[in-house]
Structure 1
Amino acid sequence: MTATDTRIHRRIDVELGDRSYPVHIGSGVRHLLAEKIAEIGAQRVAVVSARPRDTLPETGVPTLYLEARDGEEDKNLATVDRMCRAFAEFGLSRADAIVSVGGGTTTDSVGLAAALYHRGLPVIHLPTTLLAQVDASVGGKTAVNLPQGKNLVGQYWQPSAVLCDTDYLDTLPKREWTNGYGEIARANFIGAGDLRGLPLEEQIAASVARKAEIVAADERDTGLRHILNYGHTLGHALERATDFALRHGEGVAIGTVFAGLLAGALGRIGPERVAEHLEVVRSYDLPYRLPAGAGTAELIALMRLDKKATSGLAFVLDGPLGAELVSGVPESVVAGVLDAMEREH
């Protein structure tokens, strides 16, 4: 991973050999799209966008525009099927490319469609939410949900470029900011350092840079990349338990507090480090209490569906050597920590 500051914006390169790609961060970087399409050599593109047409940059080539809708309700195989059918009707070929514009659920589903159509077309992501800019659009993980769980059908498919235009963030509602800050808060515990108080662009760049380092070292999630799931095991379970009324970043924030408490209960970290988890989460004005209706037994059952849980309950936890995947965590300890956590009234 290399990071370069320029006068106009920041560029971070995800180093993956001949599949390396840049992540551009800053005001107006969406207007690099036509240049990136030309670099790929695409003759035509399909732009799948959850944002209004008048906010989209020029592509420089004949373009199919498809409307998308951010949200977990559309992050499924039916959505991927509709996209691929539209690509085929447009006559999109292997000489062409696909562009996603939207939040993390849109970049995820469009990325999967790009990976599957013609066995893989180049894709460029224009993430428009804070959550997507700091996490979802970078790293090449694409997936959609099944009724049985989140992200159960997916593929690794690295983008050709990611354009994180901070101008898109200006119109975000407060809850979308909260959603993104949940991922930034957990970055504190996976090696990004304490990002509190830094300008927003620096927080985004630091989060992306840390993820780029991890992805470059472990693209296929066989070891180090597990730490990116810090706070996510409980977070995903909370999303499911609330029928996605709780947003992803909100669930990750609560999951981060839980991860600190669980690491403490297992003797991996001391009381001060446990307290730091709550302190960081609360400093971003993020939720830290369990939802009132999410029972311990239900949450444990949902966490058993996690992709990392191949031998009992598994969590990414802090410890003497930093964050790492810990398998076979006793259910009784997990239940005790959940029972002891504060709950919303």
Structure 2
Amino acid sequence: MNTPSGTANSGAAGDIRRIEVALRDHGYAVHIGPGARRLLPSVVRDLGARRVVVVTALPDADLPDPGVPCHVVRARDGERDKTLATVEEYCRAFVRFGLTRSDAVVAVGGGTVTDTVGLAAALYHRGVPVIHVPTTLLAQVDASVGGKTAVNLPEGKNLVGTYWQPAAVLCDTDHLATLSPRDMLSGYGEIARCAFIGAGDLRGLPLHEQIAAGVALKAAVVARDERDQGLRHILNYGHTLGHAIERATDYAWRHGEAVAAGTVFAGRLAGALGRVDDRRVAEHQEIVAHFGLPTWLPSGVCAQTLVSLMRRDKKGLDTADGALTFVLDGPDGAELVHSVPESVVRSALAAMPTGPEPTAGARPDPA
């Protein structure tokens, strides 16, 4: 399935790229490049916000200046804090500050921060504007764009959430220099899977171009299907098994690492169903391996556990008949495939090697 690329052009601030997310009733820009966070005062001014609450996982010295009076709320990044309790904590901080619908919220951090703060902003006073300043590769290329906000339950990932589009997204690539190799590795997982959903092979491109390609693809898909009624399902490529791996390892595997293994599995499953040939199956393995990402399943986790977790995941359960559903490659590109036989799923799982928790030793250097 071919998808149009997003609208990308050079911004007014030097090397910063601007990609428009053009929705039916509203839209916003994603700014990508060094120093993008310095655009925050102009974004706040354009919103007409008098004050902001900045929810951040960064130290004070690294916070962007919003250009208006602000209150700083400390956040924690990581799946263990992606909970309803965290959302309540943020909302109560908004109350103490006296935040109104004429003000705004700024989320500064990784995917957990943008997800939880986005959900808090959607719920507080039934919706206040939120600006995302993603500081991790994973959040810049995927999590902060598209308006999905959600938190986890003990039963599964992202089971409680809503759609709340940001007013703007500022992807400052300078933040990436501060990340650990493992955090960078996780972000590459979302970049690798883009090759199979319309972005093409991004290997060899500078990192900022890889981010822009991923964002442009997502912007184009979201513009056509904001609320997951059809086309947007392709963005879940590799995520059904990926979420199961995260849960099965108690989040010892990072999101992008698990999605990478899920992408390899998706290629194998598509091959087993006769949707793609052996060359295309091998391409899944080669692209994921190029980024230093895991092409194996976690050792010590049985197939039954993974299948059970995939059944609980909102991306994997076919509510019509209880069968498993996957986004899989095929003659017309990636598409949602219903009622995949469990026996084929188990065989594809059994064909994958197992191994330890990933490390970041083989990742490419940022460019």
TM-score tier (shorter):
over 0.9
- The separation in 2 between residues aligned to 1:159 and 1:206, in whole angstroms, is 19
Shift of 1:328: 0.5
Give the secondary-structure state (helix, strand or coil) at the position aligned to 1:297: helix
Q: Is the contact made by 1:47 and 1:65 (CA closer than 8 Å) also made in structure 2?
A: yes
Q: In structure 1, what is the equivalent of residue 335 of structure 2?
A: 324
Paired residue for 1:294, among 296, 301, 309?
301
Of all paired residues, the percent bearing the same amino acid is: 67
- The separation in 2 between residues aligned to 1:294 and 1:217, in whole angstroms, is 38
Q: Is the contact made by 1:19 and 1:158 (CA closer than 8 Å) also made in structure 2?
A: no
Paired residue for 1:4, among 3, 9, 23?
9
Paired residue for 1:101, among 102, 108, 112?
108
Shift of 1:344: 1.1
Q: In structure 1, what is the equivalent of residue 118 of structure 2?
A: 111
Give the secondary-structure state (helix, strand or coil) at the position aligned to 2:149: strand
Superposition pairs of residues 105-254 of structure 1, within 5 angstroms: 105-254=112-261
Give the secondary-structure state (helix, strand or coil) at the position aligned to 1:315: strand
Q: Is the contact made by 2:324 and 2:338 (CA closer than 8 Å) also made in structure 1?
A: yes
Q: In structure 2, what is the equivalent of residue 335 of structure 1?
A: 346
Give the secondary-structure state (helix, strand or coil) at the position aligned to 2:355: coil
Is residue 65 of structure 1 aligned with residue 72 of structure 2? yes
Q: In structure 2, what is the equivalent of residue 274 of structure 1?
A: 281
Letter in 2 for 1:107: T
Letter in 2 for 1:89: R
Give the secondary-structure state (helix, strand or coil) at the position aligned to 1:126: strand
Q: Is the contact made by 1:51 and 1:102 (CA closer than 8 Å) also made in structure 2?
A: yes
Give the TM-score of the pair, scaled to structure 1: 0.99
Unaligned runs of 5+ in 1: none
Letter in 2 for 1:319: G
Larger CA deviation: 55-64 vs 225-234: 55-64
Q: In structure 1, what is the equivalent of residue 57 of structure 2?
A: 50
- The separation in 1 between residues aligned to 2:248 and 2:15, in whole angstroms, is 43
Give the secondary-structure state (helix, strand or coil) at the position aligned to 2:161: strand
Shift of 1:307: 1.1
- The separation in 2 between residues aligned to 1:325 and 1:48, in whole angstroms, is 36
- The separation in 1 between residues aligned to 2:260 and 2:24, in whole angstroms, is 34
- The separation in 2 between residues aligned to 1:206 and 1:317, in whole angstroms, is 21
Shift of 1:66: 0.4
- The separation in 2 between residues aligned to 1:164 and 1:60, in whole angstroms, is 18
- The separation in 2 between residues aligned to 1:294 and 1:240, in whole angstroms, is 11
Paired residue for 1:19, among 16, 26, 30?
26
Shift of 1:106: 0.6
Q: In structure 2, what is the equivalent of residue 306 of structure 1?
A: 313
Shift of 1:306: 1.7
Shift of 1:117: 0.2
Give the number of aligned pairs.
345
Give the secondary-structure state (helix, strand or coil) at the position aligned to 1:321: coil
Shift of 1:327: 1.0
Q: Is the contact made by 2:270 and 2:330 (CA closer than 8 Å) also made in structure 1?
A: yes
The alignment yields a C-alpha RMSD, in angstroms, of 0.8
- 1:257-296 CA distance string (max 9 Å, x none): 0000000000000000000000000000101111111110
- The separation in 2 between residues aligned to 1:59 and 1:30, in whole angstroms, is 9
- The separation in 2 between residues aligned to 1:233 and 1:202, in whole angstroms, is 27
Q: Is the contact made by 1:127 and 1:164 (CA closer than 8 Å) also made in structure 2?
A: yes
Give the secondary-structure state (helix, strand or coil) at the position aligned to 1:57: coil
- The separation in 2 between residues aligned to 1:8 and 1:241, in whole angstroms, is 41
- The separation in 2 between residues aligned to 1:92 and 1:56, in whole angstroms, is 20
- The separation in 1 between residues aligned to 2:92 and 2:111, in whole angstroms, is 22
- The separation in 2 between residues aligned to 1:43 and 1:173, in whole angstroms, is 36
Larger CA deviation: 14-23 vs 229-238: 14-23
Shift of 1:2: 1.6
Letter in 1 for 2:354: R
- The separation in 2 between residues aligned to 1:200 and 1:101, in whole angstroms, is 21
Is residue 90 of structure 1 aligned with residue 97 of structure 2? yes
- The separation in 1 between residues aligned to 2:355 and 2:136, in whole angstroms, is 27
Larger CA deviation: 241-250 vs 302-311: 302-311
- 1:29-81 CA distance string (max 9 Å, x none): 10100110000001110000011111111111111100101000100000000
